[in-house]
Amino acid sequence: MKLGKATREAFGLALAQLGETNPDIVVVDGDVGNSTRTELFGKKFPTRFFNVGIAESNLVSVAAGLASSGKRAWLASFAAFVMCNAYDQLRMSVAFPCLDVKVVGTHAGISIGEDGPSQMGIEDVGLACSLPNFTVIVPADEPSTFRAIEALNKMHTPAYLRAGRPNVPIVYEGDFEFQIGKANQLRAGSDLTIIAYGLMIGPALQAAEELAKTGVQARVLDMHTIKPLDHAAVLAAAKETGRIVVAEEHLLHGGLGSAVAMSVVRQHPVPMRFVGINDTFAESGKPDELLAKYGLTAADIVKAAKAF
């Protein structure tokens, strides 16, 4: 797989492109536009771009006010800042009235690297999923981020999109389908299923290749939409492969693993293993070293699979 742009960069490019044909779109940022890449939109459409400063609660309130007056609001900040600092505003000003506000949290997970634990969004997916009326999406690469932005633009309800800081491999090339709430099967397999999203899709595919060398054929699902979850894909994986490994760059509690486990228990219980951040904050360091230290590599997925 060749290396592509970071999903935060793809988000900025897609949003600026979207603004050309959608005059009602407005963008609000928390003084990190050069990092979230909303500055690309701001430079093209300065009268529709608002920097509210480092004040995430106000950020959400301004976006909600714009949405309630008929605008299509997109807001962006670091995942840890917007989801943790402004949760109450998201709950009461966006989720409760079910406004057309799209929330984008960038620099998510421990792969933000040297910036350290205060800026690492490791609970953002769980927090977003807990908000009624919210759709929650984590694209895997540059092409799927563009498709995710296009799909979210067709919705008029709240949503959270998670984006990362590092460049990630291109998973999707050529023509492909991206449908909110429908997982994409990236590899066929009948012995077990690896379900992942975002940054962990690359390691999931690498793990499947390693397992194939030992005669184990692993199905790989890109569960880009965590909410609403593709229960049909989960059921098929459980019935057809009998074992499931979930891999995510997120706390194990409240993330994709929790959602898949609930689906499996309700539909067709099978053995499961979970690769994620195990009830801890990470330290500051280089992204690859952090992913290795906290068990978020292809080798860790292989280990989980072999534990069956």
Task: Report the greatest alpha carbon distance in the chain.
Answer: 59
Q: Are 202 and 231 in contact (CB under 8 A)?
A: no
- Residues 2, 149, 223: CA angle, nearest 5 degrees: 65
DSSP 214: T
Distance CA 245, CA 275 (A): 7
User: Which one, of 186, 183, 192, lies nearest residue 171 by Cα?
Assistant: 186
Residues marked as catalytic: 56
DSSP 1: -
Q: Are 194 and 136 in contact (CB under 8 A)?
A: no
Distance CA 74, CA 63 (A): 7
Q: Six-digit token pair at 7?
A: 């999903």
